[in-house]
Amino acid sequence: MNYRSLLVHLDSDKHCAARIDLAIRLARQHESHLVGVACTGAIYMPVGSEATVAHAELEALVQDALRDRVEAAAQQFRDACTAANFKAFEVVVDERDKAAALVERAHCSDLVILTQELPMAVRTPMISSMVEQVVMDSARPTLIIPHAGHFDDFSKPALVAWDDSREAARAVYDALPLLRQCEEVQLVTWDEHRPGRHPPSAPMQERLEALRRWLLWHGVTAEARVETTATPIAEAMLSRAADFGSGLIVMGAYGHTRLAERVLGGATRGLLQSMTVPVLMSH
């Protein structure tokens, strides 16, 4: 398995240049085609008896401003690829909702590259960000880059968060091209310490060992371990990643629907909000 096509989100925020540079670097390393997608986002204007010509004119002005913004982001991407002498790229401008456009475009890519969103003033379990929607709805893995820090070395140790779930298995498989270039890989299962709970079961340790062997067959040497934690899983992951000097965390993304809304699991949302290193997630 290799990444033959990468998709990177283009926008006007201050992190876009770093995201483009990282995407070009990965595309060059993996000999991938690189697709930059700039989305205007959907416009929601009042509709009804009160709608007037003025509303239509305002909508046209907003749409033109958004087109100018995404075209500037697209040109930034073209200029960066040209400056890096990287020729295997294309640009797509999409005028739909950002999350919906990225999810659909990802169907023809192997990996989606986004930047962690800045904290919002209002965020509840019932309100999903654009990144959360892409992670949960995309048929492809998503590589999320922290909005703080500089990340350009994917040969550093990698941390794989494992719970023997379908999502975790999908994430490990999707991360193989990155894991093969890491100098070290740790497979870790966390058991939340609660009064009356027994230590991690032998079957889980056996499953970790089976995963370690499977990775070895795919050219990845890994160390497996089970840890007990009294802190939330997301905090335990970040702590272990810091101790291990990790440059990448690989994990399954968890969520379910409630009242037609997407509700993320605690560890998934915790990592998306507090990540300190790039995280590859698959759902």
Global pTM value: 0.86
Rounded Cα–Cα distance for residues 276 and 268 (Å): 14
Full set of structural domains in the chain with CATH: 1-115 (3.40.50.620), 148-283 (3.40.50.620)
Kindly state the tokens that stand for 199.
């230590």
In tens digits, what is the pLDDT along the chain, a chain of 283 residues?
A: 899 999 999 998 899 999 999 999 999 999 999 999 999 876 555 555 455 656 566 656 666 667 788 899 999 999 999 999 999 999 999 988 899 999 999 999 999 999 998 776 445 444 458 999 999 999 999 999 998 888 888 899 999 999 889 999 999 999 999 999 999 999 999 886 554 555 555 688 888 999 999 999 999 999 999 888 888 888 999 999 999 999 999 999 876 544 344 445 577 888 888 899 999 999 8
Cα(212)–Cα(223) distance, rounded to whole angstroms?
7
Instruction: Tell me the C-alpha to C-alpha distance, in Å, between residue 145 and each of 8, 107, 137.
Output: 11, 21, 18
206 neighbors 179 (Cβ within 8 angstroms): no
Hey, what amino acid is at 171?
A
- In the numeric block, the tokens 């990996």 are attached to 111
Report d(CA 207, CA 94) in Å as an integer: 43
Cβ atoms of 253 and 136 closer than 8 Å:
yes
